Amino acid sequence: MANAQKSETNNHRLLKSNNSSSKKNEGRGKFLVFTSAVIVIIATIAITVFLGYKGIRTFFVYDVSLWNFLTTTGWDGTENSGAFAFIFGSFAVTFLAALFAAPLGIGSAIFMTEIAKKWGQKFLQPVIEILVGIPSVVYGLIGVTVIVPLIRNHVGGLGFSLLAGMIVVGVMILPTITSISADAIKAIPSDIKDASYGLGATRWQTIYKVIIPAALPSLMTAIVLGMARAFGEALAVQMVIGNVKGLPESLLDSAATLTSIITLDMPHTTYGSVHNSLLWSLGLILLIMSYVFIIIIRFVSSRRKI
């Protein structure tokens, strides 16, 4: 074994320099996957930069006042346009939708994971996961054909309203919240629950004192993810909310959101006009909000105990 090679340690068969083919193969693979990963970064930066640039231009090139834009209403496509009504509309739809979807979704998740375990996980969970994938235009269509007439005939108003928007979006994010919450509750180690039952606690006491506190950060994440989806939803909302450019005075009034106005106005504005530029600023608000939601989710999930 110990033969002539011994002295030539810089030309040994085990050195990399003598095995270039495997190195080349490895290098090519690494380059390929790295490039793909970098494309993800490039896409993100490109979106942020281009939307930021187009959105900010409104305030520098067209001399629109940022304060005026954010705090006043009245949308006529000129320098004096204010987007407050739409910002309000987006937030209103998001919070109202979460207000009924969150308890319902988390309640259902608890039912699936703690009360009817077998049935819940074998049947309900797959069905809910499939419902997460139902396209939003379909929710919008149901809103138009079922919910809007229902409100018009039984509650009042035109039917196309904040209330309709909230219901449609709430139903849409319900499966999302339920499915993530159910996963979170299932992730709680069973010995924690067993300990509680072992101490003679009832199911409700266990849920209230053990399961909800332990899963709270993940449940919050589920709600925020649902809200992020609600905030960015365009077509389903646009189809039922009525798209009136003023502030709504009640739930039964028509309203508009950032997304619904972009959807409606974008095709009708000319490239380079003030009106067009204003729409990019609305888009920038959506982008900023999706960063905000990410930050909230990171903050919430950093408190996760399990």
Partner 1 sequence: MPKLDKRTINEQEYDKPNMKKRESKEIRTESSEFNTTETLMNLKNLSVYYADNQAVKNIDMPIEKNKVTAFIGPSGCGKSTLLRTINRMNDQISVARYEGEINYDGLNILRKEVDVVTLRKEIGMVFQEPNPFPKPIKQNITHALKFMKKPKNEIEEIVESSLKQAALWEETKDRLNNSALSLSGGQQQRLCIARALALKPKVLLLDEPTSALDPISSAKVEDLIMELKKHYTIAVVTHNMEQAARISDNTAFMYNGDLIEFGETSRLFTNPREKRTEDYISGKFS
Partner 2 sequence: MNRRLTNKIATTVFVSCAVIMTATLVYLLGYILTNGLSEVDMDFLTSDSSSAMAGGGIKNQLWNSFYILIVTLLLSAPLGVLGGIYLAEYARPGKLTNVIRTSVEVLSSLPSIVVGMFGLLIFVQYMGLGYSIIAGALALTVFNLPIIVRVTEDSIRSVPVKQKNASLALGITHWHTVKTVLVPAAFPGILTGILLSAGRIFGEAAALLFTAGLSTNRLQFDTWNPFDNNSPLNPFRSAETLSVHIWKVNSQGIMPDVDEIAAGSAAVLIIFVLIFNVTARVVGNIIFNKITGSK
Q: Rule CB under 8 A: which of 23-42 touch partner 1?
A: 23, 26
Which SS3 state, helix, strand or coil, does residue 242 take? Answer: strand
**Based on CB atoms, which residue is closest to partner 1, 3 or 270?**
3
The Cβ-side half-sphere exposure at 25, using a 13 Å CA radius, reads 5
By CB under 8 A, is residue 295 in contact with partner 1? Answer: no
| Residue 7 binding target from partner 1, partner 2, none, CB below 5 to 8 Å by type | partner 1
Size of the site for partner 2 (CB under 8 A): 91
Q: Which is nearer to partner 1, 12 or 305 (CB)?
A: 12
Name beta bridge partners: 255: 242
If the CB atoms of residues 19 and 205 are measured against partner 1, the closer one turns out to be 19
Interface characters, 66-105, with partner 2 (x: CB under 8 A): -------------------------------------xxx
Binder of residue 295, out of partner 1, partner 2, none (CB less than 5 to 8 A by kind): none
Please, which residues have CB within 8 angstroms of residue 97's CB and are 6 or more apart in sequence? 165, 166, 167, 169, 170, 172, 173, 226, 227, 230
Q: Is 47 in the site for partner 2 (CB under 8 A)?
A: yes
The tokens 């009525």 sit on which residue? 242
Q: Are 236 and 137 in contact (CB under 8 A)?
A: yes
- The H or E element that residue 45 is part of is helix 20-60
248 and 254 Cβ atoms separated by less than 8 Å: yes
- Cross-strand bridge partners of residue 66: none
130 is an interface residue for partner 2 by CB under 8 A: yes
Between 80 and 136, name the residue whose CB sits nearer to partner 2. Answer: 136
Cβ closest to partner 1, residue 26 vs residue 194: 26
Torsion of CA 167, 130, 106, 91, to 10 degrees: -40
Residues interacting with partner 1, by CB under 8 A? Answer: 1-2, 5-9, 12-19, 22-23, 26
